[in-house]
Structure 1
């Protein structure tokens, strides 16, 4: 396994996909830096890791992105280097556009887009200087297809695709790679934590999320995509994948299908 020899920094590592990826990579004795806002949950993940002596904790709030240059310095100092940054942190949404306060739109954009971009830009000089590095970004199938109740969430994920597709071209000659990982429904707390129109969490799991891919299975497929340095990968059920290709080849048909989705 190529990642076994790497130093990997994972944001959003306290639960869900990030946690499963951390546990998987730790089983290979990969050196890990785990970040999220919840330091106690990060420590719980570290205790579950097979080789916890090679797992470091670095609390980080994507919404407070002004100080990320210092955070990157702290991260590099933990092992003396970073090879892969997995931009996995973020938050979802479950509200109609007409019912969503602009402050909620801003918070989603701050966390999902600006926080991710700021952390990437803060680490980029390190990757360029050493002429190697790999940015991995957890986006979403809705980064390709907008669906009801997720207008701003979809916008943040579309924005990530635009930024990182451009960045990939810019840093090609610096030997810096970019992988966009697009999940469909994954059985995590993403829907429970999703923001409603007034900014409060939904506090319930969507039926589709409950029936989604298990995060441990997702982590294995994600790690495989990272090792193969894929530019973009869809890790999702058949219907979600079909939607991506329908958007490309049959956009009007997809629009009709999306209009029939529940908006309540």
Structure 2
């Protein structure tokens, strides 16, 4: 896949992996559409990009507004070549302590929002017989991790949707790519929702010791250049990356590992 002159639309582009991807795609010669909620942060990211960057801020879960947003993006760019669904939110709470509204929020941000945006972008891609959908999932989309029941559910759903969509639209020359990051040093843990819907806040979390967002972006873009359908992202040999082999090779061992990691709470 060649990115020169291609229009790449990145959601969640104001920080983290999204910001890393913005600068990485810009270096590769792409034209950018950067979306997120924080306009000033998007402007700062655009300022680091060497190339053409259009800002299109919006709230990912405002699903009724998305048709007009997509129409504006296509009108201003002439068409989206690559959609990167990166916006997301995580969770840090036991299932027994999690309000239903937290599950709803995580599913809306991490699954329904990218699904709806993809649904709206696809018709033009199909008409052109060209385009790529890149869905940023997680190792948690392959493995059931404690304290993340909602996050795992949403990312598993995103992986399943992506795999089925890939099978359906390959006939039109389109590709679907699933990215499964392990630990990347972002604010995802600090911004995660607790069981009552409050924000987790800064603290000690394994994700903080992950690879840099620039390294994550490099791994993703290099794999996309090779048209890789599923892209694991993380430090080679890291424990969380090793978990990806267990669902097929030894699921029972995986269940035992995860159970051992779960907080032990007397009730």
Is residue 152 of structure 2 the alignment partner of residue 148 of structure 1?
no
Q: 1:97 aligns with which of 95, 103, 123?
A: 95
1:118 maps onto 2:116 in alignment: yes
TM-score by length of 1: 0.96
Residues 197-232 of structure 1: CA distance to partner in whole angstroms, max 9, x if unpaired? 111110024431111011100100000111212111
Measured after TM superposition, the shift of residue 183 of structure 1 is: 0.1
Structure 2 residue aligned with 1:216: 214
- Flag structure 2 segments of 5+ consecutive residues without an equivalent: none
Q: How many residues align?
A: 262
Match of 1:41 in 2: 41
Q: What is the deviation of 1:90?
A: 0.7
In the alignment, what sits opposite 1:78?
76
User: What SS is found at the alignment partner of 2:3?
Assistant: helix
Residues of 2 paired with 1:227 and 1:29: CA distance?
13
After TM superposition, the runs of 4+ consecutive aligned structure 1 residues lying more than 4 A away are none
Q: Does 1:180 align with 2:168?
A: no
Of the three residues 157, 160, 168, the one matched with 1:159 is: 157
Q: Which moved more, 1:59-68 or 1:186-195?
A: 59-68
Cα RMSD, aligned residues only? 1.3
Which runs of 5 or more structure 1 residues have no equivalent in the other structure? none
- Structure 2: distance between partners of 1:205 and 1:221: 27
> Retained in 1: the 8 A contact 2:189–2:205?
no
Do the aligned residues in 2 keep the contact of 1:22 with 1:32 (CA within 8 Å)?
A: yes
Give per-residue Cα distances to partners, 1:220-258, cap 9 Å, x unaligned.
000011121211111124212221112211111111111
SS of alignment partner, residue 134 of structure 1: strand
Is residue 189–residue 205 contact of structure 1 (8 Å, CA) maintained in 2?
no
